[in-house]
Amino acid sequence: DAGVIQSPRHEVTEMGQEVTLRCKPISGHDYLFWYRQTMMRGLELLIYFNNNVPIDDSGMPEDRFSAKMPNASFSTLKIQPSEPRDSAVYFCASSLAGGRTDTQYFGPGTRLTVL
Amino acid sequence: GNSVTQMEGPVTLSEEAFLTINCTYTATGYPSLFWYVQYPGEGLQLLLKATKADDKGSNKGFEATYRKETTSFHLEKGSVQVSDSAVYFCALIYAGGTSYGKLTFGQGTILTVHP
């Protein structure tokens, strides 16, 4: 079975540019999560969706960040405009259900570098 | 709020040594507890989990027991291999209130195993 797929794997951009990260969750999973990993802050949940609907975006750092899930098999995380402090690894994860016993399966991540 | 504290690393061991990585948590109610592993350049993979008190999760020779009385979930392995070199994350999910379905991670512990 295909796992969670993320693209691109690496992204290098200049400050002020728009960045779009993409995620395809595991088929049949109803929950999708976006995380950010940095040395300073570790792993942080940015936003999560249930059945394509955003449920909790309290982790999104600023209005420059936005996420969408137009259908059950695709989600995007957009940063506009990007800043150097956005440099991090961004992970997408999905789970069958969002309960306390459900395992979240992670994609390989997108390493973003903003110059 | 919910939080996870891991022992600080990095941890450096020789092959076949015994491994313990300490993890304690703070949470309201009864969370599920997880250990994830991240190999270099890859996403996070679930290593093991436990969903209620006194449960023992195990996988690939790793074990951890959910200790409610000490709010701990320490990871152990009797004989480590070079291939176990990775970053290990302790995490919890508390499915209640605004924390529903959110994975809260510890800061991660880097393990290096030498031949």
In the predicted structure, residue A3 carries a pLDDT above the cut 60: yes
Structure tokens of A104?
């979240």
Structure tokens of B106?
């510890």
- Where residue A99 falls among pLDDT bands split at 50, 70, 90? confident
* Cα(B39)–Cα(A112) distance, integer angstroms: 18
Q: How many CB atoms lie within 10 A of CB A56?
A: 18
Handedness of CA A22, A26, A30, A35 (dihedral sign): negative
B31, B95, B102 ranked by CB distance to A45: nearest: B102
Q: What is the pLDDT of residue A92?
A: 96
Tell me the Ramachandran region of residue A51: left when phi exceeds 0, alpha when psi lies from -120 to 50, beta otherwise. Answer: left
In the predicted structure, residue B74 carries a pLDDT above the cut 70: yes
CB contact under 8 A, A100 and B31: yes
B45, B100, B105 ranked by CB distance to A98: nearest: B100
Give me the mean pLDDT over the B73-95 stretch: 94
Cα angle: A21, vertex A98, A32; to 5 degrees = 10
Q: How many CB atoms lie within 10 A of CB A50?
A: 17
* Cα(B70)–Cα(B42) distance, integer angstroms: 32
- Where residue A100 falls among pLDDT bands split at 50, 70, 90? confident
Q: Which of A43, A44, A53, A105 is the best substitution to test chain B (most B C-beta atoms within 10 A)?
A: A43
Q: Please state whether the peptide bond connecting residue A84 to the residue before it is cis, i.e. omega within 30 degrees of 0.
A: no
CB contact under 8 A, A102 and B101: yes
CB contact under 8 A, A42 and B108: yes
| Digit-coded pLDDT (tens) for B14-42 | 999 999 999 999 987 789 999 999 998 88
B42, B93, B95 ranked by CB distance to A108: nearest: B42
End-to-end alpha carbon distance in chain B: 41
CB contact under 8 A, A42 and B42: no
